[in-house]
Amino acid sequence: MKEDIKVLRQLFALYAKNNRSTIVFCVLANLFTGVKSYLPVMMLGVLVDELLDGAAFADLIRTLAIWLAVIFVVNTVANILRQQFDARMENILERQNLDMNEAGMAMDYELLENAQVQEKKRRQEQVVSRWGGIYWMLIWPFDDILQGLFGLITVLCVVVPLFVRIAGSSMAGFGLLSVGLIAFLLACVWKMYRWGIRTNEQTKKDDDALAGLSRSRDYFLQSVLSGTESGKDLRIFAQEDLVEEGVCGNEEAIGKCWRAMEKDRLVMRAKRESVSAFDTGCIYLYTALCAWAGLISIGSVVRCAGSVLQCVQDINLLMIGIGAFKNAAGFGRDYLDYMNVKNPLYKGSLPVEKRRDDRFLVEFAHVSFKYPGSETYVLRDLNLSLDIGERCAIVGRNGSGKTTFIKLLCRLYDVTEGIIKLNGIDIRKYDYEDYLRLFSVVFQDYRIFSLKAGENIAAGEDVDEERAWDALTRVGLKERFEELPQGLDTFVGKEFDESGVNFSGGERQKMAIARAIYKAGAFVIMDEPTAALDPVSECQVYAGFDKMVGRKTAFYISHRLASCRFCQDILVFDNGNVVQRGSHEELVVQEGLYRELWEAQAQYYTV
Ligand code: ADP
C-alpha cells in the first residue's frame, strides 16, 4: 500500500511537470460537479418544507428563482471546467509519448541495447494499446475519486445534521438502528474495496501473461510488417507462413486470457451492483421509518431519498477509482523504472580543448571490453597510440572488433578495463556532449530519415545551405540535387510529400557521408562507407577522400583492402586486438593476416 502510494506520487509528479493545469481543472470540475448533483434535490426538499409550512406563493416563487439561478450558475461553471479538463485529456497519450521519447533520447546508447530496459519500454507500448497509456490510467481514476469524494462530502453536509438529530432522539431503538446502519454501510464499502483489489491483482496477473503471449505478435506487427523494409524479403522468400505463425500462433491462448479478464470484470460489476442495490434499500427503509416516527420532515425525506441514490453512486465511483489507482500503481512501476533508469556512463565536465589544426592524440592503454550482459571479451588488452591528423584505415575479418573499437572511441560504451585518453586525459573526464561533438561518423547501419534532404544533411531544421551544398559537392551529389526542382528541400521518400524522391541505396549512403562532412567534427569515421556505391562512385570517394575530409583525422573501416591503400596507417584487427600496423607497402610484404586478406582479394582481380 505504502509502495503504491509512493509510485502514484511519483507518477503524478512526472505528469504534473508539464500538465499542472489538467490537474487543477480536474479538481475544480469535480468540486462543482459534486455540488451540482445535489442542488436539485436540496431545492426540492426546501420547497416541500416551505409548502408544508404554508409559505406564501410569492415567497415560494422567490425561493424557486434563487435556487434556479444558483443551479444555473453552478451548472455552467461545472460544464466549462469539465470541458477544459476533457480538452486537456485529449492529448494525454501524446504527452506520454513525448515524455518517453525525451527519456529515451537522454539515455546512454548502451541502454538502447539493454534487454531489460527495452522490455520495460515494450510493456508501456502494451499498456498504451490496452489501457490508453499510464497517464490515462492515472488521471481517470483520479477524476472518479474526486467526483465520488466531493459528492460524498456534499451529501454528508445534507445528511449528517439529520442523522445526528435522529441518532440523538429519545425514541427507543433509533439511536441503535442509526449506528447499526452506519456500521453495515461501512462494512459494505470495505468489502467492495477488497473485491476491487482482488480483481485488480488478477487483472495484473492476466495482463502479464498476455504480455508474454503477445510478444511474438507485437514483434511481427510493429517491427516486421510495418514499413516497407521487410516487404521484399517476405515476398521473395515466401515467408507468409512464418509471419502468420508469429502473428496468430498464440491467438487461442491470448483469447482465453482476454475472456478471463472480461469475466473477472463482469463478476466484479455484478457483485458491486448487488451490494449497492441492497444498501439503497436499507437506507430507504431507514428513512421511511424515521419519517413514520415523525423524526424528520417530508422535505428531509425528499432530500435524503435523492441524496442516497447519489451517495451510493459516489461510493461506487470512489471504490472503482481506488481499485484503478492500485492497478495504475502496478503498471506505473515499470513506467517509472523506464523513465528513471540511471545512465551508466560517468560524465565529466572538462571542456575539450579547441584546436585550430584539429590534431588530437588518441591513446588506448590496456583496453579490454565486453558488451554489457555478455561474458565474452570483444577487445583484449588493446594498446594503441594514434598521433593523428592523418588517415587511418582499419581492416580485419568480420567480428574482429573494428566497429566496437570505434564505438569505444566515440564513447557509446565505456571500456571494461584499461583507459582511453585524448590528449593525455581520460576521455571519461570530458564533458560528454563536448566530446561527442568531435566525431562525424558514418556507421554501417546509418539511418536517413524521411525528411527534407537538407535537414538530413544538417541533422536539424536549421540548414546552412552553403555548408550543405559544399558537403554534397564533396560526395558527388551536387549535380543530382541541382536537377531536383526543390533542391535541398526535396523530401527523402514519399511518406510526407508525394513529390519526394526514393533515393537509391548508394545515394543515401552518400547523403550519410555528406551529413558527416557537414558536421565537421575533428574526427571523420567511416564504417564501410562505400558498400552501397557503384565502382565509379566508390572510386570518386577514394580519389576525393582527402578533399572530402580536409585536414581532419579520418578512420576508415573497409573490407576492400585496395580502398585502404591511400591511408598512411593501416591497423589490422584480429580476434579483438591489433595484430599488425603499417602502410600497405610495409604490410603486404610481411607474413601475416594482411597479406592473407590481400591475396584472397587480389586473386579476383587477376585474369
Ligand atoms: P567488426 O566490426 O570487426 O565486424 P564488431 O566490433 O561489430 O566486429 O563485433 C565484434 C564482436 O562483438 C562480434 O562477435 C559481435 O557478435 C559482438 N557484438 C557486437 N555488437 C554487440 C552487442 N551490442 N552486444 C553483444 N555483442 C556484440
Answer whether residue 216 shows pLDDT above 80.
Answer: no
Separation of CA 403 and ligand 1 centre (Å): 7
Give the residue, by CA position, lying nearest to ligand 1 atom 8: 399
Please report, as a single letter, which amino acid is at residue 191: K
Q: What is the percent of the chain where pLDDT is above 90? A: 24
Separation of CA 564 and ligand 1 centre (Å): 22
Q: Is 400 in the pocket of ligand 1 (CB under 6 A)?
A: yes
Question: pLDDT tens across 281-330, in order?
Answer: 888 888 888 888 888 777 777 777 777 777 777 887 888 888 888 888 88
Q: Is 112 in the pocket of ligand 1 (CB under 6 A)?
A: no
**Confidence category of residue 114, pLDDT binned at 50, 70, 90:** confident
Separation of CA 401 and ligand 1 centre (Å): 6
Question: pLDDT tens across 50-88, in order?
Answer: 888 888 888 889 989 999 999 999 999 999 999 999 998
Separation of CA 404 and ligand 1 centre (Å): 6
Q: Which residues lie closer than 8 Å to 54 by C-beta, 6 or more apart?
A: none
Q: Which pLDDT belongs to residue 166?
A: 75
Question: pLDDT tens across 10-42, in order?
Answer: 999 988 888 889 999 999 999 998 888 778 877
Separation of CA 211 and ligand 1 centre (Å): 30
Separation of CA 112 and ligand 1 centre (Å): 15
Distance (Å, whole) CA 385 – CA 494: 46
Give the residue, by CA position, lying nearest to ligand 1 atom 24: 371
Give the residue, by CA position, lying nearest to ligand 1 atom 15: 399
Q: Which stretch, 116-125, 306-315, 357-366, 417-426, has highest mean pLDDT?
A: 417-426
Query: Is the CB of residue 355 less than 8 Å from the CB of residue 155?
Result: no
Nearest to 544 by CA among 483, 470, 468: 470
Per the document, the length of the chain is: 607
Q: Is 371 in the pocket of ligand 1 (CB under 6 A)?
A: yes
Site to substitute for ligand 1 among 403, 409, 559, most atoms within 8 A of C-beta = 403
Work out the mean pLDDT of the chain and round it to a whole number. Answer: 84
Separation of CA 518 and ligand 1 centre (Å): 28
Q: Is 401 in the pocket of ligand 1 (CB under 6 A)?
A: yes
Answer whether residue 388 shows pLDDT above 70.
Answer: no
The C-alpha cell 422567490 sits at: 62
Q: Which pLDDT belongs to residue 604?
A: 67
Measured from the CA of 404, which atom of ligand 1 is nearest?
A: 6
Q: Is 404 in the pocket of ligand 1 (CB under 6 A)?
A: yes
Distance (Å, whole) CA 100 – CA 491: 27
Q: Is 398 in the pocket of ligand 1 (CB under 6 A)?
A: yes
Answer whether residue 196 shows pLDDT above 80.
Answer: no
**Confidence category of residue 409, pLDDT binned at 50, 70, 90:** very high
The 3-class secondary structure across 449-487, one letter per residue, is: CCCEHHHHHHCCCCCCHHHHHHHHHHHCCHHHHHHCCCH
Question: Which uninterrupted H or E stretch holds 32?
Answer: helix 2-52
Measured from the CA of 406, which atom of ligand 1 is nearest?
A: 6
Q: Is 372 in the pocket of ligand 1 (CB under 6 A)?
A: no
Give the residue, by CA position, lying nearest to ligand 1 atom 7: 403
Distance (Å, whole) CA 507 – CA 567: 24
Q: What is the percent of the chain where pLDDT is above 70? A: 94
Please report, as a single letter, which amino acid is at residue 520: A
Q: What is the largest CA-CA distance in the chain?
A: 121
- The beta-carbon contacts of 172-178 under 8 Å, at least 24 apart in sequence, are 174/289, 174/290, 174/293, 174/295, 177/286, 177/289, 178/286
Q: Which pLDDT belongs to residue 52?
A: 82
The C-alpha cell 445528511 sits at: 159
No. of helices (H) and no. of strands (E), the chain: 22, 10
Least confident range from 97-101, 150-154, 209-213: namely 209-213
**pTM summary value:** 0.72
Measured from the CA of 376, which atom of ligand 1 is nearest?
A: 26
Q: Is 376 in the pocket of ligand 1 (CB under 6 A)?
A: no
Give the residue, by CA position, lying nearest to ligand 1 atom 19: 404
Q: Is 193 in the pocket of ligand 1 (CB under 6 A)?
A: no
Angle between helix axes 134-167 and 92-105 (nearest 10 degrees) is 130
